[in-house]
Structure 1
């Protein structure tokens, strides 16, 4: 799987996207340190044990580099930055029942804005699955010769 590059100084405006998500009763925010066990448990239930490891890294940062989408105090999605490598986006995931609400795109934008606020001018989306989504959503471009990326020698399990 390839890596993709995002030009952070040319990010599209996210205002309408955030309003759309908010209008659906969804809160988008940075997770709090005391929520680590809750978010990690949710990620483990819905996604991969490897992603749980990365989420825990996000909670070891100050400020926390994991963002969550919630409705009525229930997690609907998450996204992290700077877990596997500096300037990297991911992992990220949205619950099956919440897909199509704009949460994934909103979390992507929030994370890229956080990277920009940290002083980066480019962000990297590592080991991309839905390449077309990232191209369309945020103008990400393929990084040549990036397959298999940093994930070249992953331990099984």
Structure 2
């Protein structure tokens, strides 16, 4: 699958935003004092590579990482401008919290943050749920793009 392109200047309304808020979940930009807590959580629930990208997001000003929190518990995250400028991701939600709209709320908050930063378009590199992005965001496939560009990336030995 190729990378996807999303228009940011006419983002649709997402019902998940209100649903998540009504459930007591706050979606917001992370703050620097949360850095090590977030990175440790990401290493535990996802990938070391994603934690590396999140470290970059937490080092930028303004920070380019959004989190979902309920009752002081981290539920999910989404970043932009980590793999490359204009790229959305990585993003993830705690496995026990999936299916509640948290991922959608993080997606829209991050894309709105990109729009506020001056981007007209976002690239979703190596997209997972392609049909979701196509349906919800009218995302377009970028011909000849190569989501496997990082196949030769350094990894921790097994």
Give TM-score, length-normalised by structure 1.
Answer: 0.94
| 1:44-123 equivalent positions in 2, closer than 5 A | 44-123=43-122
Change in CA separation of 1:130 and 1:100 when aligned onto 2, cut-off 3 Å:
same
1:142 positional shift? 1.1
Q: Which residue of 2 aligns with 1:2?
A: 2
Give the match for residue 148 of structure 1. Answer: 147
Unaligned regions of 5+ residues in structure 1, if any? Answer: none
**Distance in structure 2 (CA, Å) of the matches to 1:132 and 1:89:** 16
CA contact (8 A) 1:127 1:151 kept: no
The farther-off stretch of 129-138 and 94-103 is 129-138
CA RMSD, 1 decimal: 1.3
Unaligned stretches of 5+ in structure 2? Answer: none
Query: How many positions carry a matched residue from both structures?
Result: 156
User: Aligned partners of 1:155, 1:47: CA distance in 2, in Å?
Assistant: 17
- Alpha-carbon distance in 2 for matches of 1:148, 1:24: 35
1:23 match = 22
Provide runs of 4+ in structure 1 moved above 6 Å: none
- Alpha-carbon deviation of 1:137? 2.2
Cα separation, 2, equivalents of 1:150 and 1:25: 39
In the TM superposition, residue 123 of structure 1 has moved relative to its aligned partner by 0.4
Three-state SS of the structure 2 residue aligned to 1:10 is coil
Q: Do the aligned residues in 1 keep the contact of 2:4 with 2:141 (CA within 8 Å)?
A: yes
